[in-house]
Amino acid sequence: RDRPTVVYVGKLSEQKGVHLLLEALAGLDVRAVIVGFGPARADLERSAAGKGLDVLFTGPLQHRHLAHLWAAADASVVPSVFPEAFGMVAAEAAATGCPPIVARHSGLAEVAAGISAFLPPHLRTALTFERDDAADLRRALVELLGLSADDRQALSQGCREAVVALW
């Protein structure tokens, strides 16, 4: 717990936007766990190493393991640049109390809006970023990771309450 942990879960492809997450993490004192498989894995591993990032690529994990990973993480990121019907990964992270930061489009935006309705207004802006915008993702990460312990607790609780009430 010496540094914040950020988690990505999903396919490792250009459409899923993991490259944006790596760009946003550059220079931040965080560790990242990238869970998944796909055609972009080797390129993403090289990119993370080239940026000097502390990133663990795990390959796929089962949901029973993800529940523990998300519960121990400070944030989950869903940076997809491709329209998503529903942000299931974001909802699953929120169910564990791990706040999801999602690209502001399609089904991802719907999940973020649902969660935001259960949060105090000052906590809502850290959950979304503009699609395909690493700088805005970085802003959201810095905002969320910089919250006080009380605000982080309120955010976590609001995430869980939203999932129970909505999904």
Tens-digit pLDDT profile for residues 42-96: 999 999 999 999 999 999 999 999 999 999 999 999 999 999 999 999 999 999 9
- Cβ atoms of 89 and 9 closer than 8 Å: yes
| Cα–Cα distance, 95 to 115 (Å, whole number) | 10
What is the share, in percent, of the chain residues with pLDDT greater than 70? 99
DSSP letter at 99 equals P
- Distance, in Å, from the CA atom of 73 to the CA atom of 144, rounded to the nearest integer, reads 12
Q: What is the predicted pLDDT for the residue at 110? A: 95
Q: Which two tokens stand for residue 75?
A: 């944030």
Partnered with residue 101 across adjacent β-strands are 77
pTM (whole model) above 0.75: yes
| Alpha-helical regions (H) of the chain | 18-25, 41-50, 63-72, 88-95, 106-116, 134-145, 149-166
Q: Largest Cα–Cα distance in the chain?
A: 43
